Amino acid sequence: MSRPLAEPAITDAPGAVPVLGHLVSLIRNPLGFLRTLSHSTEEIVRIRIGPWKGYVVCDPDVTYHMLLDDSTFDKGGPIFKNMREVLGNGVAVCPHSDHRRQRRMLQPVFGKSNHARFASVIGTEIDTVISHWQNGLPVDIMSDMRDVSARSVVRLMISGLSDDAIVQAVKDVEVSMGGMFWRILLPPPFDILPIPGNIRYKNASSRLRQLFRRTVGEYRMNGGEDDLVSYLIRASDEEDGTTLSDEEISAQIFTVFAAGADTTGHTLGWAFHLLSQHPAVLKRVQAELDAVLGDRLPTVEDLQELTYTTQVVTEVMRLYPTAWFLTRTVMQDSSLGQHFFPAGTDIVFSPYLLHHRPDSHEDPETFNPDRWESDPQGQRHRISMIPFGAGPRKCLGEGLGRVQSVLSLATILSKWELKSESDDIKSGLRLPLTPLGLSMRAFKRRS
């Protein structure tokens, strides 16, 4: 007997106001809102933003079950339609029907054999970005860490790009991602208003698309460097032998850039802030760096020895997972946990919410890297610790993101100590999760 396709009987999350629903709570204090839900005994609660309704999964097992079944709970609906209009149909946003082929073709670029190459790019980009730091002076840590992270990802993708083009691309991806997030939240008429934000967003996205198409065209004509674009031009699917069109390659470049540019940079921003607030933890990191590295810069081979620094990064990713608010759409009428959802329902899941559940992580609001002593990367908590997601759509860049985070932290902290001048850091309604108002000063440890 078929079940009725009525809206599921699920309670509203606390904090809704008439018409705007939970938008006000989310704008005022998004993390406070999710922390309230991390104490919920409900498996799933409903949130509303204007006319839009979404169902937030609060239970770790139900979230995990949903993420494993990516054909039923797919990247679909208006949110991903909107993202595909900007990024193209690349691996991070494409529907399940296109995903496996794309993932098979991209996977080798992200394998361990490329980590050392990526690590050497990171060192050079850190030198370029922080060369202006002066002893005792303020630094714009968020902007600098974003640049380090985004520039490294651009180099991985298009290694021969000029410095001016990199600076422009890094700016453009920030504007495109910010604009895309607001388009998802605000109703459609907002998109077409000729206001400066919309114009900047359209120009930035179209400049990036042109850059990626031009690069693919040039590589096809003249050959290219040993990078992601060259690899994608040569790649053929091991199952059906098909190759990628120019349009598909441009979409992959844009998607990987969007997925990888900011995530590590923001993780590093949170890491410097937390270390500055926890001097005892910072001292232990410095002692490890001095013992393992002495005066030299870290390489990918040092990662195994940098266990405490790795634990610190894992704990930063638990407390402040940069991908904190993610969605799926129900593709055919299905049950999830104890509830039944009609096709078209939007489901929200949040690594932040799961990482702050007191029944999964003891004393969840405390920054305590020691909790990862026997499991430095948090791999054993695959259900309650998902900074990189889970299931078939888990982050392709997880290995690179971890290498980049630990090596960047180690490289900078072996030479510099950063002191926060702001205690009251909030996070805005942004993707990725951003520490707002972070102001720091850099002090030289050694030259």
- Residues at the site binding ligand HEM, with contacts judged by CB under 6 A: 91-92, 103, 153, 256, 259-260, 263-264, 267, 322-323, 326, 387-389, 393, 395-397, 400-401, 405
Nearer Cβ to ligand HEM (20/102):
102
- In the complex, minimum distance from the CB of residue 1 to ligand HEM, in angstroms, rounded to a whole number: 34
- In the complex, minimum distance from the CB of residue 101 to ligand HEM, in angstroms, rounded to a whole number: 11
Nearer Cβ to ligand HEM (69/202):
69
- In the complex, minimum distance from the CB of residue 252 to ligand HEM, in angstroms, rounded to a whole number: 8
Nearer Cβ to ligand HEM (361/393):
393
Q: Which residue is nearest to ligand HEM (CB)?
A: 397
- In the complex, minimum distance from the CB of residue 439 to ligand HEM, in angstroms, rounded to a whole number: 23
Nearer Cβ to ligand HEM (175/326):
326
Nearer Cβ to ligand HEM (21/76):
76
Nearer Cβ to ligand HEM (369/397):
397
- In the complex, minimum distance from the CB of residue 329 to ligand HEM, in angstroms, rounded to a whole number: 12
- In the complex, minimum distance from the CB of residue 414 to ligand HEM, in angstroms, rounded to a whole number: 20
Nearer Cβ to ligand HEM (96/200):
96
What is the three-state SS of the chain? CCCCCCCCCCCECCCCECCCECHHHHHHCHHHHHHHHHCCCCCEEEEEECCEEEEEECCHHHHHHHHHCCCCEECCHHHHHHHHHHHCCCCCCCCHHHHHHHHHHHHHHHCHHHHHHHHHHHHHHHHHHHCCCCCCCEECHHHHHHHHHHHHHHHHHCCCCCHHHHHHHHHHHHHHHHHHHHHHHCCCHHHHCCCHHHHHHHHHHHHHHHHHHHHHHHHHHHCCCCCHHHHHHHCECCCCCCECCHHHHHHHHHHHHHHHHCHHHHHHHHHHHHHHHCHHHHHHHHHHHHHHHCCCCCCHHHHHCCHHHHHHHHHHHHHCCCCCCEEEEECCCEEECCEEECCCCEEEECHHHHHCCCCCCCCCCCCCHHHHCCCCCCCCCCCCCCCCCCHHHCCCCHHHHHHHHHHHHHHHHHHEEEEECCCCCEECCCCCCCEECCCEEEEECCC
- In the complex, minimum distance from the CB of residue 107 to ligand HEM, in angstroms, rounded to a whole number: 9
